[in-house]
């Protein structure tokens, strides 16, 4: 049925009165049933719906979006606005030991903006093609400089940690924990008393992406962790495992102070930007060389499906990880099937 010409004229007059054109209705559909929010109005909604880890990673950059672009509606932000924000973050990035000239800050700006616009598309405020953040390319990642440490380097690092600082017991325990398990800082910081199984010599790690796994540790480390937690006030199952001498749970700042102190006494540590994550590389490199890719993958806690299809079939169980730990440390583990006391080179020797 053809449209009534008089109604078309009336509609055009109404649009003209509102300062709109028919193209505006097509280019900026709002199926949410409400007006288009501003960046300042919408970002808090995105933060409220995000996981704690996402808020920690992107919170600072969302604050920057609000400070610079908060007055604009979501559909008024352009790709140039997002790119300018990225350049600003890159130029103003704090200088760190492990910094890379602000590239990570620029990358996080784009990722944070994309998270906002993905939510806006999901909420029906925009279409996927309208997202300005997805029209800006992320800075290209540089090759990762991390490598496996040599036995001598590990020995020097541990010596400094055990002979300096205001809590050598805690620092030595941290280095031993990360060397044995190849866990990330977040996994260690989230450990609770209930996550320690001294009978089976296991710790339960909660790490990136909310992954959860039981990781073998040596009987000696299991005992030391339990004694440490009890001596420093951990009583309830949900109490944090790693604690300062005053009984307070440690934070990521302990790691920052530890590596800063080590770098002051070992200049090559500071020069190369060595951090806790290098211990993960060291241990996993050793496991891969002696026990293969499948065991190293399980040891690392990798569960993603990216990569060749054969990764679906290359799997290792907890017993295989325990066997690798026993061979690496020279200490028996209750879950290791093979208890032949074999002697292999220490981590860092290939």
Q: Give the count of beta carbons closer than 10 Å to the beta carbon of residue 27.
A: 12
Residues 285-312: what's their mean pLDDT?
Answer: 80
> Tokens 């073998």, residue?
216
Q: Which two tokens stand for residue 300?
A: 């690392």
pTM above 0.85, yes or no: no
Q: In 3D, which of 82, 250, 263, 228 has the Cα closest to residue 156?
A: 263
Burial class (CB in 10 A: 0-12, 13-18, 19+), 8: exposed
Q: Which two tokens stand for residue 245?
A: 């001498």
Give the pLDDT confidence of 32-46 residue by residue, as tens digits.
455 899 999 999 999
Cα separation, 284 vs 148, in Å, equals: 8
Amino acid 3: pLDDT: 66
Q: Which two tokens stand for residue 236?
A: 């309830």
Helix (H, G, I), strand (E, B) or coil at 63: helix
Which contiguous run of DSSP H or E holds residue 288?
helix 276-291
Whether residue 31 has pLDDT greater than 80: no
Residues 315-342: what's their mean pLDDT?
Answer: 85
Contact yes or no for 183/257 (Cβ under 8 A): no
Give per-residue burial for 243-260: e unless 16+ CB within 10 Å, then b: beeeeebbeeebbeebbe
Q: What does the H/E/C string look like for 74-122? A: HHHCCHHHHHHHHHHHHHCCCCCCCCCCCHHHHHHHHHHHHHHHHHHHH
> Tokens 């790119």, residue?
83
Residue 262 contacts by C-beta under 8 Å, 6 or more apart in sequence?
157, 160, 161, 269, 274
Q: In 3D, which of 83, 127, 122 has the Cα closest to residue 106?
A: 83
> Given strand 202-206, what is the order of strands in its sheet?
196-197, 202-206, 212-216
Query: Highest mean pLDDT range out of 45-59, 112-126, 136-150, 293-307?
Result: 112-126
Amino acid 302: pLDDT: 80
Q: Which two tokens stand for residue 190?
A: 């989230």
Which contiguous run of DSSP H or E holds residue 257?
helix 252-265
Whether residue 69 has pLDDT greater than 70: yes
Which contiguous run of DSSP H or E holds residue 272?
helix 267-272
Q: In 3D, which of 300, 286, 324, 345 has the Cα closest to residue 147?
A: 286
Given pLDDT bands bounded at 50, 70 and 90, which one contains residue 7?
confident
Q: Minimum mean pLDDT among 98-102, 233-237, 323-327: which range?
A: 98-102
Cα separation, 19 vs 189, in Å, equals: 56
Given pLDDT bands bounded at 50, 70 and 90, which one contains residue 146?
confident
Given pLDDT bands bounded at 50, 70 and 90, which one contains residue 320?
very high
Whether residue 310 has pLDDT greater than 80: no
Amino acid 202: pLDDT: 97
Q: Which two tokens stand for residue 37?
A: 């929010």
Cα separation, 328 vs 135, in Å, equals: 48
- Concatenating the DSSP letter of every residue in 291-350 gives H-HHHHHHHHT-----S-GGGGT----HHHHHHHHHHHHT---TT-S-------PPTT--
Q: What domains lie within the chain, and their CATH numbers? A: 1-30 (no CATH), 36-135 (1.10.150), 151-329 (1.10.443.10)
């Amino acid at each position: 049925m053809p449209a009534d010409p008089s109604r078309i004229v009336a509609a055009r007059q109404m649009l003209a009165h509102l300062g709109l054109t028919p193209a505006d209705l097509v280019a900026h559909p709002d199926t949410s049933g409400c007006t288009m929010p501003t960046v300042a109005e919408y970002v808090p909604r995105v933060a409220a719906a995000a996981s704690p880890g996402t808020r920690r990673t992107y919170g600072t950059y969302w604050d920057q979006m609000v400070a610079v672009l908060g007055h604009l509606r979501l559909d008024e932000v352009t790709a140039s606005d997002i790119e300018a924000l990225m350049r600003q973050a890159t130029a103003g990035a704090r200088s760190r030991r492990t910094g890379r000239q602000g590239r990570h800050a620029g990358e996080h700006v784009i990722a944070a903006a994309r998270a906002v616009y993905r939510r806006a598309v999901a909420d029906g405020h925009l279409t996927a093609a309208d997202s300005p953040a997805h029209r800006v390319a992320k800075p290209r990642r540089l090759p990762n400089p991390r490598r496996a440490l040599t036995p001598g380097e590990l020995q020097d690092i541990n010596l400094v940690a055990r002979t300096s600082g205001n809590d050598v017991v805690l620092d030595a325990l941290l280095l031993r924990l990360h060397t044995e398990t190849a866990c990330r800082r977040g996994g260690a910081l989230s450990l609770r008393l209930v996550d320690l199984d001294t009978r089976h010599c296991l710790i339960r790690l909660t790490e990136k992406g909310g992954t959860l796994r039981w990781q073998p540790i040596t009987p000696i480390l299991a005992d030391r962790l339990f004694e440490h937690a009890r001596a420093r006030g951990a009583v309830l199952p949900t109490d944090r495992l790693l604690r300062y001498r005053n009984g307070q749970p440690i934070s990521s700042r302990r790691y920052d102070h530890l590596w800063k102190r080590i770098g002051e006494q070992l200049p090559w540590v500071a020069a190369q930007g060595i951090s806790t994550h290098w211990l993960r590389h060291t241990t996993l490199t050793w496991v891969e060389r002696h026990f293969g890719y499948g065991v190293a993958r399980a040891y690392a806690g990798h569960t993603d499906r990216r990569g060749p299809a054969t990764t679906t079939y290359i799997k290792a169980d907890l017993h295989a990880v325990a066997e690798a730990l026993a061979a690496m440390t020279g200490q028996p583990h209750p879950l290791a099937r093979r208890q032949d006391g074999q002697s292999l080179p220490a981590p860092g020797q290939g």
